[in-house]
Amino acid sequence: MTTQKAKPDAERSEPNKGGPSVPVYIHLRPARASDVAQLVPLLLRLKRLNEEFDPLLKVRPDAEERATEVLMNDLADREATVFAVEGVGADKGKIVGVVRARVRERPFYAPEKEGVILDIYLLPLYRRKGAGEYLLHQLSRALKARGAGVLTAEFPVQNEIAIRFYTKQGFRPITTLHARMM
């Protein structure tokens, strides 16, 4: 850990007005293709965590290759947003978290576009110090700038940490996804 002040790229021209304070131990920036090798294990950790919640979220044997493809596709997709959370100081260059989101059309509802948080993951050492709130704030700004009028999040219904985290940030459940094996 270090006391170096993090200055996310998104923040360089505009201060974090009215938002949560910038955590001093991370640096948030848009992900690049050269980050993918470090982002994949984080995404897989999240998917394996999801698997613990429900056997219908069983991770595929080829999930690693698929994660690489998904991230590469996202990086080339205008509607997708991927942020890398980098450590600072001694951890500079080490990616300690990932956020994946996209802007999706809502054909029947207003606002017409939603920003969907598909994946948000921080390594355990970096949790519960306000980084999640900060990521959410920055992501929200980025998705709003792309036309999203509502922010949604997808996660396993049994993930109590996610429920608490999002509830604290003003989210509430609006739809549920029910599933059964075929």
Ligand X SMILES: CC(C)(COP(=O)(O)OP(=O)(O)OC[C@H]1O[C@@H](n2cnc3c(N)ncnc32)[C@H](O)[C@@H]1OP(=O)(O)O)[C@@H](O)C(=O)NCCC(=O)NCCS
Binding site for ligand X (CB under 6 A): 46, 49, 119-122, 127-133, 155, 159, 161-162, 164-165, 168
Nearer to ligand X, 22 or 46 (CB): 46
Residue 122, sorted as left (phi over 0), alpha (psi -120 to 50) or beta, turns out to be beta
Query: To the nearest whole angstrom, how small is the minimum distance from the Cβ of residue 71 to ligand X?
Result: 15
Query: To the nearest whole angstrom, how small is the minimum distance from the Cβ of residue 94 to ligand X?
Result: 16
Query: To the nearest whole angstrom, how small is the minimum distance from the Cβ of residue 85 to ligand X?
Result: 9
Nearer to ligand X, 35 or 119 (CB): 119
C-alpha to C-alpha distance for 93 and 10, rounded to whole angstroms: 18
Nearer to ligand X, 104 or 127 (CB): 127
Query: To the nearest whole angstrom, how small is the minimum distance from the Cβ of residue 154 to ligand X?
Result: 7
For the CA atoms of 34, 35, 41, 45, the dihedral, rounded to the nearest 10 degrees, stands at -160
Nearer to ligand X, 33 or 56 (CB): 56
Query: To the nearest whole angstrom, how small is the minimum distance from the Cβ of residue 46 to ligand X?
Result: 5
Closest residue by beta carbon to ligand X: 132
Nearer to ligand X, 92 or 128 (CB): 128
Could you write out the DSSP letters of every residue in 82-151? EEEEEE-GGGBT-EEEEEEEEEEE-TTSSSSEEEEEEEEEE-GGG-SSSHHHHHHHHHHHHHHHTT-SEE
Listed in sequence order, the residues at least 6 apart from 159 whose beta carbon sits closer than 8 Å to its beta carbon are 49, 50, 53
